[in-house]
Amino acid sequence: MLQWLAMVVDGSFGPIRLFGSFFFMAGTGFAVTALATWVLMPRLWGLLPKDQGRAHAVNAEQSIGKPLSTGVIFVGVFAVAALLFLPFDSIALRTVPLILAAMLVGYFDDRRAGGFKDYQLAVMDGVLALAAAVIVCGLEPSTIWLPVWRDPIVLPAWLMIPLAAGVIWVAINATNCSDGVDGVSGSLTGAAIIILGGLLYAVIGDAVNAGHLYIPTNPQGASWALMAFLMVGAVAGYLWYNAAPSLALMGDAGSRPLGLLIGLLVVASGNPFFLLMVGLVIVLNGATGWIKVLLIRLFRIHVLKSVRFPLHDHARKELGWSNTQVLVRFMLLHLGVSALLVTFVLKVR
């Protein structure tokens, strides 16, 4: 809406021209969503359900009674900001209803005693992932690029849409499983989103830089980057209250839409391997657990018997790390691995 206003005024009032700058809008949007979330959270979390503890989770008793599903608040702030800051014709804006739908799935899962069944969540996540893939990829052939492969690859829609949906589905579930330690899920996902946003704005969305690196340009890269910064601002406002010892928890109402957004940004980048490049710690922490369960249930294959999943529980229970140590060490690994892998992927073409 604000960019539309800048076009309507068209120089009549000079400062409004700033609304046409994606760089200015990203910084301003980050500040607005962070401040709005920070102000609204303590005023609204009394309306949300309280955490009842989780079976088999380490130190679950410490979270009992805290406001749960605060993702409803910061994702709601993000959605309103997206309407204000994103261009009306951007593909990114069309995905906001799906992010809200993921939030609602998580919210009702938080409220239900025992939550939804695993297969129910898998189906709902699959529907959201498929719809998101169709919106981002369209029904036309899509171009992707891969590590250590110089030439772009064109995939038909019937192949690209299932691939994109799979990436988004994994991102949703990996992020959801990473929640459980104060500050960890929000910090890891926030870092992944801001890295993807920076790449989409400065590299993939810039024809000169993308051409220099032999990467297909995404003309909508700046819009996706703006969307990323809006969400990171909202997450920053949430983390103010989720820093150890936390006062409130995002629940599935926050982790599921965050995972969906990560998947969307990865698909928009054109490189499905970016899910591992910028989210390897998230995937290892969250997704390896259900891979282990899947191998046991379907193939009777028992692996990593001595490792507790998610890995943050193993670090606390088996290694004796405190919550703060888990947060700091996971973030250091996350940022270090992401920087190394992203540099490798961009330069080794």
Residue, of 224 and 318, whose pLDDT is higher: 224
* pLDDT for position 312: 77
More confident residue, 321 or 169: 169
For the ranges 129-133, 157-161, 298-302, 314-318, the lowest mean pLDDT is seen at 298-302
What would the pLDDT profile of 194-214 be if each residue is shown by its tens digit? 999 999 999 999 999 999 999
Residue 33 belongs to what H/E stretch?
helix 22-44
Averaged pLDDT, 15-42? 88
Residue 31 lies inside a defined structural domain of this protein: yes
DSSP code, position 67: B
In a domain, 5, yes or no: no
Number of structural domains, the chain? 1
First to last CA, the chain: 39
List the structure tokens of 184.
């960890």
Residue 218 lies in a domain: yes
Q: 151 lies in which domain range?
A: 18-347
Distance CA 324, CA 208 (A): 42
Is residue 131 pLDDT above 90, yes or no?
yes
Residue 131 lies in a domain: yes
Q: Which residues contact 148 (CB under 8 A, 6 or more apart)?
A: 348, 349
236-258 pLDDT, tens digit each: 999 999 988 899 999 999 999 99
Assign 61 a pLDDT band (cuts: 50, 70, 90): low
| 251 inside domain | yes
**9 in a structural domain:** no
In a domain, 48, yes or no: yes
Residues whose CB is less than 8 angstroms from the CB of residue 95 and which lie 6 or more positions away in sequence, other chains included: 132, 135, 136, 264
Average pLDDT, the chain: 87
pTM for the full predicted model: 0.91
142: which strand partners? 155
**Residue matched to tokens 């405190």:** 322
Contact predicate 267/154, CB 8 Å: no
> Do the domain assignments include residue 1?
no
Assign 157 a pLDDT band (cuts: 50, 70, 90): very high
Q: Is the pLDDT at 85 greater than 60, yes or no?
A: yes
Asked whether residue 314 carries a pLDDT value surpassing 90, the answer given is no
Q: Measured between alpha carbons, how far is 96 from 227 in angstroms, rounded to an integer?
A: 9
Q: Between 241 and 17, name the one with better pLDDT.
A: 241
Q: Which of 156, 235, 165, 159 has the alpha carbon at shortest distance from 194? A: 235
For position 347, what pLDDT does the model report?
81
247: closest CA among 60, 34, 62, 30? 62
